[in-house]
Amino acid sequence: MRSDIGSFSARFAFLKGTFLHPQWFAHRHEQSLFASIGGQSGMRVLDIGCSDQRIKRFLPRDREYTGLDYYSTATQWYETRPTIYGDAHALPFSNARFETVLLLDVLEHLQAPEVCMKEIGRVLENGGNLFLKVPFLYPIHDAPVDFHRWTRFGLFELAQRHGFEVVSERHIGEPLETAALLTNIAWSKTVLRWIRSGNPLMVFGLLLPPAVVLMNIVSSLVSRISASDAMMPHGYLLKLQKNGPGSH
């Protein structure tokens, strides 16, 4: 089964990327993040948990792209077709096969993230890069396969334990932006529940769209004129480099 967050987001997909969307802060930097990742990718790229392979549009055309996903996830949830079906815990590739590995909003869904990190280290060449993106302050999604959340310190420790050096780290979401995102999701989810159950309180749903817009605009403007603060991001993006002989 998928969580209500997934179906909730799908209802408003046509507004994605605009401040009208309740999850605007979760989506607004996606294109710039993907463009940055694409510009730093090596020639042979593995995208684990590739879903609709949207990152592929941001890769240079000469890159050799391989998208991997679970069969059940691709066919039953997202109706997508990866390059190859497989398990992130047992990657079906030879050692040092790839120059770049992408693990974008996937690690939290793995029962054994340590095993996945070990497998990535195996298929990634020495000096190769892993781009790791995870949520932090974000609701449960894709239930029942949502298992973990990490702080930046936990991510650093995880990376170093598996032979990776942290090249760069970016927190995604300023405190007010994260607060607005969670508030918008909570209110939207509550209103949808009222509508489904026929609760008379659903009439207050008429106030939701302007409230979402106001919350998004005010939080964005105030965050823009305030000093950046990594206290409560809704996610992280790390660039990690595999250490070993020949690394640089």
pLDDT at 248: 43
pLDDT at 16: 77
When mean pLDDT is compared across 3-17, 38-52, 134-148, the lowest value belongs to 3-17
Per-residue pLDDT band for 245 (boundaries 50, 70, 90) equals: very low
149: nearest Cα among 109, 180, 90: 109
Average pLDDT over residues 178-200: 96
pLDDT at 244: 61
Tell me the average pLDDT of the chain.
93
pLDDT at 163: 96
Answer whether 128's CB lies under 8 Å from 44's CB.
Answer: no
List the helix and strand counts (H, then E) for the chain. Answer: 8, 7
Is the pLDDT confidence value at 164 over 80?
A: yes
Is the pLDDT confidence value at 218 over 70?
A: yes
Per-residue pLDDT band for 91 (boundaries 50, 70, 90) equals: very high
pLDDT at 76: 86
Per-residue pLDDT band for 243 (boundaries 50, 70, 90) equals: confident
CA distance 248 to 245: 9
DSSP string, 178-192: HHHHHHHHHHHHHHH
Average pLDDT over residues 170-180: 98
pLDDT at 15: 74
Domain parsing of the chain, residue ranges: 22-174+228-242
Per-residue pLDDT band for 39 (boundaries 50, 70, 90) equals: very high
- Which amino acid appears at position 59 of this protein? L
What is the distance between the terminal CA atoms of the chain, rounded to a whole angstrom? Answer: 44
Task: Please tell me the CATH superfamily of domain 22-174+228-242, with its number.
Answer: Vaccinia Virus protein VP39 (3.40.50.150)
Note the pTM of the prediction, 2 decimals. 0.91
Q: Which helix (H) or strand (E) segment is 127 a member of?
A: strand 124-135
